[in-house]
Each structure stands twice: as C-alpha cells, then as structure tokens.
Amino acid sequence: MTDPLDASFAALSDPTRRDLVARLALGDATVSELAAPYDMTIQAVSKHLNVLAAAGLVTKSAQAQRRLIHLEADALRRLTDWVQHYAQLADQRYRRLDEVLVQLADTEESP
C-alpha cells in the first residue's frame, strides 16, 4: 500500500498535473474542458487525471450527462499540514540559531 503523501507528491511532480489542480481550484470541470488548453489528446489528459484520482487529489462524479472532475480540498490540506509542520520546525531551529548568534555577539562586545 502506497503512503497517501507519497502518492500525492508523486502525482504533483508533473507540471501538467499541477496545472490541472490549479485549474480545478477554480471549479469543477469536465475532461474536455480541462483538455482544451493543452496540445495533447483527451486520453492523455484523462491519464493525468487518473493519476491525480489514484492519489486522492481529485474525484469524478456524474452530473446529468456530464462527468465532472472535482478537486479534493482535504487531500491538499494533508499536504499543506505536512509542509507547514516541517516549516515550523525549521523556523524554530533558525530562531534558536538567531538567539545563539545574539548571545555570541553580546559576549564579544562585553569586556
């Protein structure tokens, strides 16, 4: 079983898939609508969407005669939470380093 974070980051490693996610952030769309700006077949765009779906980043739903692709915000939140956690740890480390540097500078200035 693949870790959901691994699958999500792997899916987003492709610039076309990141672009599709950006487009879907504006609202649900059909495969044809998503494929329109690309110089690739609808089948190629569908393959990209299948990778995103396998990672849990998008879902497909039927609405009347259209199949809409929907961006899953919760999946993006998991990625954001992971990144923010490590960004906070790094910030804490840098703050501690800044404190040490200030203490060193104060020590050097004192006779």
pTM, full prediction = 0.79
Q: pLDDT per residue over 44-80, tens digit each?
A: 999 999 999 999 999 999 877 789 999 999 999 999 9
Rg (alpha carbons) of the chain, rounded to whole number: 22
Number of domains in the chain: 1
Q: pLDDT per residue over 28-43, tens digit each?
A: 999 999 999 999 999 9
CATH number for the domain harbouring residue 9: 1.10.10.10
- pLDDT exceeding 70 applies to what percent of the chain? 97
Residue 62, token pair as written in the block: 């039927």
d(CA 58, CA 30): 12
Show the domain range for 86: 4-109
